[in-house]
Structure formats: C-alpha cells, structure tokens
Chain A
C-alpha cells in the first residue's frame, strides 16, 4: 500500500547555540519512497537529515524544538533508546567512511555490536548485505582484505552494505555520491532504485538532476526553511513557489 507515513516531522526548529539552522519544518516521509532534499549549501538540509537519527545529539550546543514521529512514536522523548533508533534508521555519509578493517569486519561491525555472535549467522548477514548493496560480486573473493583497498565508489557501496547489515527501516543518505565519479554515481543511483522496495530512503543531494532521477518526492530547503515539498515531477515541472523555480532553473545556488 502506498502513502503510508514512516516519518512525521512536526514544526521542527533547530539551533546550534544561538544560531537557528532550521525553522518550522513540517513534512511527512512516505514509506518505501525515495525522498530527496535539495537546496543550496548551508540551507539546513544536512542538518535536517541528522535530526532524523539524532546524530545532532553529538554536537554540543545543539537543540531541537518540535517533534519527529517515527512509526507514529516520538523519537525526541526522554525514554527513547537512541541506540535502537539508529539501528532502525541507518545513515550513509557524504565521504565514504569505511573502518580501517577488512571488508567482512566492516559489514559485520553493526550486527556484532547488536549482539550477533554466531559465525554462520554473521557470514549470512554480511553476504546478504553486500548483495543488497550490489557489491558482493566485486569483493566475494577478498572479504578479508582491507576496506581501504576498494575504490571510492566501492567504499561507498560498502558503507551502504554496512548500514543494511543492521536491518534498518529507513536509510538516510547525505550526498552519498558527491565524492564519486559519474560511473560510480550511476551505480549508487541504480542501487537506490532497488533499495526502495525494502527501505524508505531520504537523500540529501546537491545535484538536482540526481534528485529528479532517483526520487519520488522532493523537498526544497532555503535558509533553514522548507520552501516546498511535493512530488518530484511537480517540483521540477511546475513548482508552486517562485524561489523553487529560481533555484531549479539555476538562477541562484
């Protein structure tokens, strides 16, 4: 069934000390859809992404007002287990950041810290996750070599596999292809297309073409505000807001 809400963002304001980075953001993220967030640098789209799995908690002086519901439950209550939240909402970063360990250990890291000790089970998860990230065929013969020996594109797919290994429901991607060449970027985009059958994906991207190619819905951020949020083809073909139109036609940003 479609149009099921997995995330409901309600009137979120976000501050770094006195600086307000997000202003009154309200939007719903739909299940098994790809939601793209676009906007110029410094518009708050990455900050917003990091409020969803509470990565901003790690930044001193960061403060959020409003609420975010995940599966209908608030993730900003006192009793929320952040560890469990981040297990259910995975994240892939802008720069590929594999651990300086073997390919196997990279993917096994998540399951291991969440208590999987059985070797056969771990192996199954690793293989499954690598297949899920379309990397398995390229690395199946060298799972115990260092992850740092992979190319940038492979490293990024490894990071995706690593995120998949803890079986998340939502996948947050912070400009996952911005450090990659066009071929590697295309592979990541194909992968996103495949992943949305099983995951809800929120992707921040600098590239409007990328947003147009991969996403079902697009949100346009400007100076900490969500200017417009709608179906991707609506945003790109017939935006409601003048600022959105200016941005996608390349008049600024």
Chain B
C-alpha cells in the first residue's frame, strides 16, 4: 500500500516537472525573441520612423507606407469580414436546416481554416486582381485577407452562438417572438462578446500575414500612402520582409523596428480581446 502511494506520488511529480520544462521552453524562446526585437528595434526607432517612407538608406527608411497600407487594408477588411462572417454563422446555427448538407458545409468551413495562407493569395490574385479587374489594390488585398480569416471568424462565431443556452431562445419564442427577433434581440446580444473576441483575434492574425499579399502582388517598395481603395499599397509585414532581404546590415535594425511596431499592434488587439472577454464574463 505504502509502496503504491509512493509510486503514485512520484509519477505525479515526474509529470509535473515534465510539463514545467515544456512550458518554460516555450516561455524562454518567446522571451528571447521579444528581447531581441525590442533591443534591436529601439536602436532606429524614433518619431521620424513613422513619418518617413521607405528608402535605400537604412537611416532614412520609415514605415509610413506600410503603416498606412495596413490601416487601409485592415480598416476595409474589418466590416467585410465581420458582416459576412457573423451572418454566415447566424445562418448556419440559427436558420439552416439540420441535415447532411449543412453538416458538410460546416465541416468544409472548418477545413478551410487549415489551408495555407499562400493559397488564398493565389485565389486573390486569380479572382480579385485578374478576373474582377481590381488590380493590386487595397480592395483586392482586403478581400483576400477577408477570405483568409473568414473560416476562423465563422467557426468562432458559430461556437459563440452555440453557447447561448436554448432556454433563452425558448423564453423568447414563448413570448410570441418570431425567429428574427429571437436571434437579433436575445441570441446575438448574448453571443456578441465571444463573437467579438474571436473576431479580433482573427484580425490580429490578418495583420501579420505576408505571404498572401505578396502573392497577390502588393508592392514592396512604396513611396506613397493609398488615397483610395483602388490604390496599390504595401503593409507592415511586407515592409519588414523586404528590409530583411536587403544586403545592408543596418536594415536588420530597421526591420526590427518594424517588427516591434507590429508586435505592439498585436499586443493592443489581443489585449482588447481579453478585455472584452473579461468584462462580459463578469456580468
């Protein structure tokens, strides 16, 4: 008996240590990366960095084009993704007949979330840039990124809607509410915090995406900010990617500054998502 107990406690300890090692590994790598980016990124970072365009000279290179490009593309993508994503999820969870076809569609949407982002870039190039003649514009970029994150947005919105208890729907129906009233006044308000959390996390993924936008032909060296949705553009991660590929070593520091900016943007967005979740889960 005592032996058994000892053995159990030992196993317990061993596993605890193993898990601790793994989580430390992750945290150490993360800390090292952040330290590297911050220490290198701070060297060239000043206010001018945000107000200058790119340049052949590292000390004169700035992120303005990328920053504005990102703001334009993401700004346009947010409403498109939110409405299409939420509406799709509402249809699938609240309206679609429960049959094999619906299940198949749901399954495929979940699968789409796993497709490499560069495939979406090719799709964007083929459909938006070429076929629909949008050119390599902000609009085409926003639509491509929308496609990329929509599966994630839809799936997380579906989960949010599913988590609204049926008892609330029943209460609404029993008062004589019709389907739309029930969805709009009862289900959506309850699910909105979760929908928003998933949505913001998906947006922060889109902000960091490089491959699909390069694929669809976003520019790498840009000396202007977009003036409208049909203008060409670049985004922060492409700018960073471009700098890292340049021969002059100082560009490594410029790239680090860009990464730092990107990192801060992502922190803010993730913070916002956490805040929303925290605020509403306490209610």
Kindly report which residue of chain A lies nearest to residue B164, judged by CB atoms: A100
A-side interface size class: 20 to 34
CB-CB < 8 A to A84: which residues of B? 176
Count B interface residues, CB 8 Å: 20
Stretch of A35-43, A53-61, A218-226 with 4 or more beta carbons under 8 angstroms from chain B: A53-61
CB contacts under 8 Å to B, within A159-213, are 159, 162-163, 166
Stretch of A24-32, A85-93, A244-252 with 4 or more beta carbons under 8 angstroms from chain B: A85-93
Determine if B190 is an interface residue (Cβ-Cβ < 8 Å). Answer: yes
Contact B170 A109 (CB under 8 A): no
How far is B167's CA from A93's CA once the two chains are assembled, in angstroms? 8
Contact B173 A99 (CB under 8 A): no
Mark B160-190 against chain A: 1 for CB-CB distance below 8 A, else 0. 0000010111111111111001000110011
CB-CB < 8 A to A162: which residues of B? 171, 175
How far is B177's CA from A246's CA once the two chains are assembled, in angstroms? 42
Q: How far is the CB of A203 from chain B (nearest CB, A)?
A: 15
Determine if B283 is an interface residue (Cβ-Cβ < 8 Å). Answer: yes
Kindly report which residue of chain A lies nearest to residue B165, judged by CB atoms: A97
Q: How far is the CB of A161 from chain B (nearest CB, A)?
A: 12
Kindly report which residue of chain B lies nearest to residue A58, judged by CB atoms: B173
Contact B283 A163 (CB under 8 A): no
- Known A60-B98, A113-B185, A148-B283; contact A97-B170, beta-carbon cutoff 8 A: yes
User: Which secondary structure characterizes the binding site on chain B?
Assistant: helix
CB contacts under 8 Å to B, within A65-107, are 83-87, 90-91, 93, 95, 97-101
Contact B189 A100 (CB under 8 A): yes
Contact B175 A109 (CB under 8 A): yes
Mark B47-78 against chain A: 1 for CB-CB distance below 8 A, else 0. 00000000000000000000000000000000
How far is B67's CA from A65's CA once the two chains are assembled, in angstroms? 66
Contact A86 B174 (CB under 8 A): yes
Determine if A110 is an interface residue (Cβ-Cβ < 8 Å). Answer: yes
- Known A86-B174, A90-B175; contact A100-B283, beta-carbon cutoff 8 A: yes
Contact B168 A97 (CB under 8 A): yes
- Known A109-B185, A166-B176; contact A146-B283, beta-carbon cutoff 8 A: yes
CB-CB < 8 A to B172: which residues of A? 99, 109
- Known A100-B190, A100-B283, A109-B185; contact A87-B175, beta-carbon cutoff 8 A: yes
How far is B280's CA from A148's CA once the two chains are assembled, in angstroms? 13
- Known A60-B98, A113-B185, A148-B283; contact A99-B171, beta-carbon cutoff 8 A: yes
Residues of B in contact with A (beta carbons under 8 Å apart): 98, 165, 167-178, 181, 185-186, 189-190, 283
Residues of A in contact with B (beta carbons under 8 Å apart): 53, 55, 58, 60, 83-87, 90-91, 93, 95, 97-101, 109-110, 113-114, 146, 148, 159, 162-163, 166
